[in-house]
Structure 1
Amino acid sequence: MRVATWNINSVRLRRPLLAELVKALDPDVLCLQETKCPDEFFPLEDLRAFGFPHIAHKGMKGYNGVAILSRLPFEVRDEDPDWCSKGDCRHLGVTLDAPGGAVELHDFYVPAGGDAPNREANPKFAHKLDFVAEATAWCAARGEARRSVLVGDLNIAPLEHDVWSHKAMLDVVSHTPVEVEALGAWQRSGAWHDALRHFVPADQKLYTWWSYRARDWEASDRGRRLDHVWVSQDLIGGLVRHAVLKPARSWPQASDHVPVMVEIAP
């Protein structure tokens, strides 16, 4: 089972790029974030044409939004929380009819947090920390995850080599110590396993995002690993391979994130 995740940064604008993604990664399940599309305008039929007959989406005008496109049947988890009571379309959960038995899949888009890493001065940063804290408490209350996968743009690069310069990034939102600790607590709360770092040792650089602000993103290579795939402990033995589709950052009208995929034998 190949599970991919991509912050597409507008599903309608970048809809043609999905053909390139499917050609390169051939995912069985594709989780999207930042679809920026109200549900009534979501391009369902166009996306089904890429080979995904089963689609769930949760969107709003102009920003946020998540979607799950799948070749495997699934049931939507309607009972999952409305994080921070904002109704801002940042999470979608499904139960997949996967080989070997049902797999619970969660697609998250964590708030970016604005520019200032200060809870009191920056409401966006406070929202980010509150969101992660709620998700952590929810996972802890449910106990250790079982046959579960959690993916998405979590907007935190936790490890030293998840950013281009650990020292330079310590006071930059996405790599501050308070965010790193918060993400670690979330990961520990469900005993989640970092599937990308399962394949790429922690002492090696690993990025999934490069800023639009860079004149030449590839030459400067000032990246961050903001996109994640976590699996429950009982799926670790089924991890087969991973892919980070770095060439996607050079696609026409590219997203600033690139697709990430993990193959699992569940």
Structure 2
Amino acid sequence: MSVPLLRRINVPALAVALAILLVWQLSVESGLIDFEYLPSPTEVWQGFLEILARGQLVPAISHTLGVTAASAAVAIVIGVVLGAAVGLFRGFRTYTMASFNVLRTLPIVALMPVALMIWGPTGEAEFYIATFSSIWPVLLSTASGVRNVHPRLTEVARSLRFSRPDFYGKILLPASLPSILVGARLAVVHALVVVVVAEVIVNPAGLGGALLHAQSALQPGQVWAWVIISGIIGYLLNVALVAMVRYGVPGGNLSTGALRKAGRS
């Protein structure tokens, strides 16, 4: 293992994770923790091997990531358009922001029975509910990025007599791009979470459906294996998105402070 790779490994965090697994294993084996359906880490590993042997892993991940990608893509487009309108046009912001604030605070789990009644237990229900819930981080971050464009950039555009399309493409979009990308990253991760929950509640497919089937079959090792698989996929997806944002905006501000500021406006 090369030295640069070793430097990237968070040794203290890895040690804590291993310690948690060891305590978990010893506690279950000794009976210190005694729950009927709480497996030990070795049983979870055995459940993971059973999932691999049955060929369930790839189809489940493919379904979940496919719906996640589709819903996040649509949500990003809608969120950028609405967010830009909120940031650019005071009248639009005045008449719509209160409604947006109400809609984004609706508990998404409470809307899943509605989606089930409208579209039934289908992938469409997953798609629409994930799209709806993923619009808001993009909308808020885009609105914040547009509103926080430095006034001097606007003055430069006026002095150069930029047309409106030139102003949008050469000034507004590059200046607000870091905020847009932060919102897009949050939307993708949020879409993944909502899709998995929808698969448990609405449409028994993908990772959530596999988890539900394992629970119904009273296979706690497989249940925990699916939970850990979902967590790992979410973590890797977030890492990949952060890397993409940093590549797209070198030195850009990747914090969510702008998003919080937009939410208060």
Same fold (TM over 0.5): no
Q: Give the TM-score normalised by the residue count of structure 2.
A: 0.23
Please identify the structure whose Cα radius of gyration is greater. Answer: 2
- Larger relative contact order (Cα-Cα within 8 Å, sequence gap ≥ 6): 2
Structure whose residues are more often helix by fraction? 2
Structure whose residues are more often strand by fraction? 1
Q: Give the TM-score normalised by the residue count of structure 1.
A: 0.23
